[in-house]
Amino acid sequence: MSGEIILQARGLGISFGGVDAVKAVDFELRQGELRCLIGPNGAGKTTFFRLLSGQYTPTRGAVTFRGKPLAGLKPWQIARLGIGIKTQVPSLFEGLSVQENIDMAARRRLRGKAVAAVVADVLDHIGLGDLRHRPCGELAHGQRQWVELGQMLAMKPAVALLDEPAAGMTHQESLRTVQIIRDITQHSAVIVVEHDMDFIRLIGDRVTVFERGAVIAEGSFTEISKDPQVRAAYLGRKENADA
Amino acid sequence: MTRVIQPALLFAALVLGLLAPGWLELFTIYEFTAYLIMAVLALSLAFVWGKGGIMCLGQAAFFGLGAYAWAVGAINFGPGLAALAISVAVPAAFAAVLGYFMFYGRINDIYIGVITLAVTLILFNLINSTSGPQYRIGSALLGGFNGMTGIPTLAWPNGMPLDPAEIFRLTVIVIVASIVAITLYLKTTPGKTAIAVRENEVRAELLGYNVAQSKLITFTLGGALAGLGGCLFANWGAFVSPTIFSLVQSAQIIIWVIVGGRGTLIGPILGCIALQWATTKLGTQQVVQVNLVLGLVLAFFVLVVPQGIVPMVTGLLRRNSRTGPKAEAEQNA
């Protein structure tokens, strides 16, 4: 892999009431990389994202961003350092328009006319220019996902964490989402959590597989799809995995 | 179109407000000045709650502190700009300290409501228990439950105190200037952040906005505006008592804002003036209890018109303009 390591987790873990949701995960993301994170429901992918973005405080291990430890930082401080997140369930300013939602993301790093220019550009990218004045609370699910991805485009974080960006989308919408994610990768290293294997195949670069809070495999899509442990995790054939 | 209409209406209101004392009787000027002063208080809550999403049930605390601070400042330093500055700075500082512990302590909405109301009632009891000559700040006696009387009225630089018509005009200027200032502030990044925080704290934080700081700024500015209203109140009546911190006072502000429409700035002002006028009229009869009627009004609006009068009317006008003859002609074309 080329590019310097931008985000690193070492022995990262968190427990809830004695249950390890994420246990001792080692993870590295390099500059410009597009990484997919897959795993069955409850594997700990979203919890892992929340640890990276500071929404959860790890009970063990540490996260470093550009070599700087993130321990003790609040989510807004981590976001300012350059880690953006698109949450699993779209989290938007519901009463504000599409344009205002994008504006708030651009405004964090820009001032004056540059904000309006970026907003116009992002609206163009996500294809919601006609709905720019529509409150986000009135949008369809897929459109809401695009607004949140649009916020990532406007925010231009060094690392973008995208949690299930194509969930609940039609095939056509998924194809458009792939394009938006590719646009995000122009400026950001990206980690995508997704269940849809066809979607992973479309954007797939390097894939990390989670199961029961731990990384069980890492490699190209072809490599991990042949991995017996991964097949067992997805298909539930424990005996094959043990073999 | 709205960009032209709103400033034009505001300008018309300002001109009307400045000219009105020339046509009105002294008693009417005096009565409406009180309504307008309370409208400043309603506007402060419209900003804090309606725009900033902070459910403050104790806006009366800052209003009362502003009134007492003016009284103490005017008695000690004279009824000039120094006392005016004190009457805004004291409630603002109090809001900043209270807000710091609430917002940086990550206390959520419901508890903010409870804490702010409790603080108001603590102030009520505290000031109530300041009877006696030992409770004085400089030469100003706090007066306990009897309150402070004979408070000097704001004076021109030549020492002439403002007459009732001038206090009326000053209050109109304060309201219009506050609406303009809040509107302009909401177009800046801190103002937009305040609204974003109201809409979704988590998203605002994940975009890199300091939510606690944003809330603190909103709360402090709202406290300062309420304090300015309190200062005007002390000037209007030359009297202030602990009832300014009472539960009734705190509850009334919320009713004004809900009835007028908490998402707007003008709605709570209109709601405040209309309800005070109605309260005064109802107070002249003995058949029904005023607070009972206010309670029914609140229940009606919460259940039937939860968005308040102004948003409902503007919504209907917008819908009519979409379905008017012109729109129908466009659809048929």
Query: Domains along chain A?
Result: 5-242 (3.40.50.300)
**Domain assignment present for B254:** yes
Using the Cβ of A100 and the Cβ atoms of chain B, whether some distance falls under 8 Å is answered with: yes
**pLDDT reported for residue A15:** 93
Q: Write down the pLDDT at residue B320.
A: 77
pLDDT of residue B113: 94
Cβ separation B207–A151 shorter than 8 A: yes
Determine how many CB atoms are found less than 10 A away from the CB of residue B290: 14
Pairing of strands A159-163, A68-69: unpaired
Cβ contacts from A onto B, under 8 A: 58
Q: Are A98 and A132 in contact (CB under 8 A)?
A: yes
Cβ-Cβ contacts under 8 Å, B203 against chain A? 91-93
Residues in chain A closer than 8 A to B200 (CB atoms): 91-94
DSSP state letters, B17-71: HHHGGGTS-HHHHHHHHHHHHHHHHHHHHIIIIIIT----S-HHHHHHHHHHHHH
Of B178, B174, B194, nearest in space to B186 by CA: B194
> Are B65 and B123 contacting, i.e. CB atoms less than 8 angstroms apart?
yes
Cβ(A191)–Cβ(A51) under 8 Å? Answer: no
Give the per-residue pLDDT at B323.
Answer: 63
CB B181, CB B40: distance < 8 Å:
no
Distance CA A63, CA A216 (A): 19
- The number of folded domains in chain B is 1
The one-letter amino acid at B171: T
- As given in the structure block, the two tokens for residue B146 are 């009897």
**Intervals of chain A under pLDDT 70:** 1-2, 235-243
Considering only CA atoms, which of B90, B62, B106 is closest in space to residue B213?
B106
B chain contacts of residue A76, beta-carbon cutoff 8 Å: 204-206, 208-211
Does B3 reside within a domain? no
Contact B203 A91 (CB under 8 A): yes
Tens-of-pLDDT digits for all 333 residues of chain B? 567 778 888 899 999 999 999 999 999 999 999 999 999 999 999 999 999 999 999 899 999 999 999 999 999 999 999 999 999 999 999 999 999 999 999 898 889 999 999 999 999 999 999 998 999 999 999 999 999 999 999 999 888 999 999 999 999 999 999 999 999 999 999 999 999 999 999 999 999 999 999 999 999 999 999 999 999 999 999 999 999 998 888 888 999 999 999 889 999 999 999 999 988 888 777 777 888 888 888 888 889 888 888 888 888 887 777 665 554 444 444
Name which of B195, B200, B208 is nearest A108 (Cβ-Cβ): B208
Amino acid occupying residue A233: A
Is residue B139 assigned to a domain? yes
Query: What is the predicted pLDDT for the residue at B159?
Result: 85
Residues 12 through 41 of chain A touching chain B, CB cutoff 8 Å:
none
Which chain A residues are closer than 8 Å to B192 by Cβ? 100, 103-104, 107
Q: Measure B201 CA to nearest chain A CA, in Å.
A: 9
Structural domain includes residue B270 = yes
**pLDDT value, residue B292:** 85
Q: Within a domain: residue B5?
A: no
Q: How far is B198 from chain A (nearest CA, A)?
A: 9
Q: Say if B202 is an interface residue toward chain A (CB within 8 Å).
A: yes
**Mind telling me how many Å the CA of A96 is from chain B's nearest CA?**
8
Residue of A202, A218, A211 whose CA lies nearest to A232: A211
In a domain, B260, yes or no: yes
Does residue A138 belong to the interface with chain B, where contact is any CB pair within 8 Å?
no
Report the residue from A79, A95, A111 with minimal CB separation from B207: A79
From residue A100, alpha-carbon distances to A115, A118, A194, B221, B290 in Å are: 11, 12, 28, 23, 43
Which structural domain, as residue segments, surrounds residue B255?
Answer: 13-332
**SS3 for A215?**
strand
CA dist., res. A167 & res. A88, Å (int):
8
Q: Is residue B17 part of a domain?
A: yes
CATH of the domain at B316: 1.10.3470
Contact B205 A96 (CB under 8 A): no
- Give B123-128's long-range contacts (Cβ < 8 A, gap of 24+): B123/B61, B123/B64, B123/B65, B123/B242, B123/B245, B124/B242, B124/B243, B124/B245, B124/B246, B124/B247, B127/B64, B127/B68, B127/B242, B127/B245, B128/B242
**Cβ atoms A43, A73 nearer than 8 A:** no
Residue B6 lies in a domain: no
Q: Predicted ipTM? A: 0.91
User: Contacts for B24-33 with beta carbons within 8 Å, 24 or more apart?
Assistant: B26/B164, B29/B164, B29/B165, B29/B168, B30/B164, B30/B236, B31/B280, B32/B168, B32/B273, B33/B164, B33/B167, B33/B168, B33/B171, B33/B236
